[in-house]
Amino acid sequence: LEVIAAVEPRIAEATKQELVDQRASLKLIASENYASPAVLLTMGSWLSDKYAEGTVGHRFYAGCQNVDTVESLAAEHARELFGAEYAYVQPHSGIDANLVAFWSILAHRVEGPWLEKFGARGVNDLSEADWESLRAELGNQRLLGMSLDAGGHLTHGFRPNISGKMFHQQQYGTDPETGLLDYDAVRAKAKEFKPLVIVAGYSAYPRRVNFAKMREIADEVGATLMVDMAHFAGLVAGKVFTGEEDPVPHAHIVTTTTHKSLRGPRGGMVLATEEYAPSVDRGCPMVLGGPLSHVMAAKAVALAEARQPAFATYAQNVADNAKSLADGFLSRGAKLVTGGTDNHIVLLDVSSFGLTGRQAESALLDSGVVTNRNSVPADPNGAWYTSGVRLGTPALTTRGFGHDEFDRVAELIVDVLTNTSPGTTSAGAPSKASYAIGDGVAEKTKAAAAEL
Ligand code: PLP
């Protein structure tokens, strides 16, 4: 930090303050974690200075021998850890990984057969008219993904996202009564819509998914099954999710982030079957430019960590702790979407406290508990104010929290929310944003959180 402070002291200060803040609060954001010192240090190196567009052994720049070593090792660890036929470790983020996957599917299933029909070696061989016709065909494909309010991600066909614009899209939700995925409803929708791609996976669904069933549905309609395991990759790596709950043996393509439950650097990754490997391998130039070599190195380190037996224990603790947290809420009368959890996420419906998600999130933040507001299925408060708060156990499990600590966390949260009341607008109408916390509650909670 001294070296940084000599150039821009405000950056050194903000960096230091982030550490202070992360240590002083309870980090319950389900998509966050604490990467190890080895992972963090690996990211801060001169590998950042090297350009390496292309793939291992096939670069558009000279002098990539060390990046080749880094990328090969990261991919090897990923293949071994997840039992995947092929791994592509270049995507800079989860969204990038999904874009690579979408375009790989389009390249494999639409562009490839099209080029074959014309006997062309590549798009550069096509006449202008044929090229326009191919572009129209690529833009005329269908995607079926989980809706945002049921727990899906923006990139799963949400209309304002590029995934909802580059594909004709439809979305599946969850059962309105139980909040659970209804596979028969997904099958019926798939049969009617006949998508090229079915996306499974989630950001805010507190349950496991049966990927064998999702593959069955995909096969019935001739769709490619893509699973976005960004949130639960750590639980797959740690063998908490096995058999039907492990997406890798069932999906054609699996995408992930590396920084959530997997506890690595901020980045993305694509795993694929051999069938899809050649098109995924063309991530650059298809969607990406130069890879972040320093981050690929940190991915290799994190994946090596995840192959240690200690990581499997960690992953099991993440799931066990989520149950403890959920039980802590239920025993105190709070309402959870789907009535509980069997992954790392707990989705608290805060409407029973008379609050919006936004009010609850703010009151908890004032009390040293960092969460994020989240829609619940068919949310009456929409995606901005919401009626839920999403909580996750990966980060605090890394800090060593177990059953008792998570029960205490539930107690603190229920106490804050019980002692928070919704505010009014300046015109005296009920407000979805303002709130008031009972005297001394935030301070008392902060002190209790610091003791954990
Ligand atoms: N996919 C899922 C399921 C996610 O939850 C997220 C992030 O929250 C992403 C993709 C995007 O990851 P990133 O923020 O690294 O682009």
Other CB atoms within 10 Å distance of the CB of residue 426: 7
C-alpha 199 to ligand 1 mean position (Å):
13
C-alpha 30 to ligand 1 mean position (Å):
11
3-class SS at 260? coil
Q: Which atom of ligand 1 is nearest to the CA of 204?
A: 5
Q: Which atom of ligand 1 is nearest to the CA of 92?
A: 15
User: What is the phi/psi pair of residue 312, to 5°?
Assistant: -65, -40
54 is in an annotated binding site: no
Tokens of 180: 């659970």
Using the predicted structure, report yes or no on whether residue 443 has a pLDDT greater than 80: yes
Question: Is 371 one of the annotated active-site residues of the chain?
Answer: no
pLDDT digits (tens, 9 = 90+) for 194-253: 999 999 999 999 999 999 999 999 999 999 999 999 999 999 999 999 999 999 999 999
Interior angle at CA 451, CA 448 and CA 452, nearest 5: 95
Predicted confidence band of residue 98 (pLDDT cuts 50, 70, 90): very high
Using the predicted structure, report yes or no on whether residue 120 has a pLDDT greater than 80: no
Interior angle at CA 212, CA 242 and CA 269, nearest 5: 65
pLDDT of residue 267: 98
Question: Is 18 one of the annotated active-site residues of the chain?
Answer: no
CA distance 258 to 339: 29
Predicted confidence band of residue 121 (pLDDT cuts 50, 70, 90): confident
C-alpha 139 to ligand 1 mean position (Å):
24
Among 146, 203, 254, residue to substitute to test ligand 1 (most atoms within 8 Å of Cβ): 203
Active-site option among 53, 182, 320, 342: 53
Question: Is 263 one of the annotated active-site residues of the chain?
Answer: no
C-alpha 7 to ligand 1 mean position (Å):
33
pLDDT of residue 373: 96
Active-site option among 257, 338, 341, 420: 257
Q: In what order do the strands lie in the sheet with 345-349?
A: 335-336, 345-349, 388-392, 372-374
Among 90, 98, 153, residue to substitute to test ligand 1 (most atoms within 8 Å of Cβ): 153
From residue 383, alpha-carbon distances to 150, 151, 350, 358 in Å are: 11, 12, 14, 10
152 is in an annotated binding site: yes
Other CB atoms within 10 Å distance of the CB of residue 153: 23
* ipTM > 0.95 (yes/no): yes
391 is in an annotated binding site: no
pLDDT of residue 172: 97
Cβ < 6 A, ligand 1 pocket: 31, 93-95, 153, 155, 201, 203, 228, 230-231, 257, 268
3-class SS at 356? coil
- The residue whose C-alpha atom lies closest to atom 12 belonging to ligand 1 is 94
pLDDT digits (tens, 9 = 90+) for 330-347: 999 999 999 999 999 999
C-alpha 161 to ligand 1 mean position (Å):
12
Question: Is 228 one of the annotated active-site residues of the chain?
Answer: yes
Using the predicted structure, report yes or no on whether residue 428 has a pLDDT greater than 90: no
Work out the average pLDDT over 51-71.
Answer: 97
pLDDT of residue 383: 87
- The residue whose C-alpha atom lies closest to atom 11 belonging to ligand 1 is 94
Which residues, including other chains, have CB under 8 Å from residue 303's CB and lie 6 or more apart? 74, 77, 78, 81, 258, 264
Beta bridge partner(s), residue 389: 348, 373
pTM for the predicted model, two decimal places: 0.96
Predicted confidence band of residue 75 (pLDDT cuts 50, 70, 90): very high
294 is in an annotated binding site: no
C-alpha 378 to ligand 1 mean position (Å):
22
Quick one: how far is CA 151 from the chain centroid? 11
Predicted confidence band of residue 378 (pLDDT cuts 50, 70, 90): confident
CA distance 36 to 310: 13
Other CB atoms within 10 Å distance of the CB of residue 156: 30
Reported as type and span, the H/E element at residue 226 is strand 224-228
Question: Is 53 one of the annotated active-site residues of the chain?
Answer: yes
Question: Is 257 one of the annotated active-site residues of the chain?
Answer: yes
Q: How many residues does the chain have?
A: 452
pLDDT digits (tens, 9 = 90+) for 379-407: 899 989 999 999 999 999 999 999 999 99
pLDDT of residue 425: 86
411 is in an annotated binding site: no
Tokens of 19: 């550490």
Beta bridge partner(s), residue 348: 336, 389
Maximum CA pair distance of the chain? 75
Query: What does pLDDT average to over the chain?
Result: 96
Active-site option among 59, 207, 260, 390: 260
CA distance 378 to 387: 10
Query: Do the strands 268-272 and 335-336 form a parallel or antiparallel pair, or are they unpaired?
Result: unpaired
